[in-house]
Amino acid sequence: SERKKWIHCFEDVTAIIFCVAMSEYDQVLHEDETTNRMQESLKLFDSICNNKWFTDTSIIL
């Protein structure tokens, strides 16, 4: 995916602030009306938390 192409650029960051809109709990993606936006955000958060580039990085949700 596109994220994998640039994620290594952030290897030396001190912290990541991850923001999610609480209003998205009942909304779907524009490009895929079967995918809940909140669930998609949680999947992205999980992939960032478990990424090898961020093992020593503080993550704020």
Interval 11-59: pLDDT, tens: 889 999 999 999 998 999 999 999 999 999 999 999 999 998 899 999 9
Residue pair 41/20 in contact (Cβ under 8 Å)? The answer is yes
d(CA 37, CA 26): 8
The three-class DSSP label of residue 41 is helix
Structure tokens at 51: 């990424």
Domain that holds residue 20: 2-60
pTM over 0.85, yes/no: no
Domain count, the chain: 1
Tokens 């895929």 found at: 32
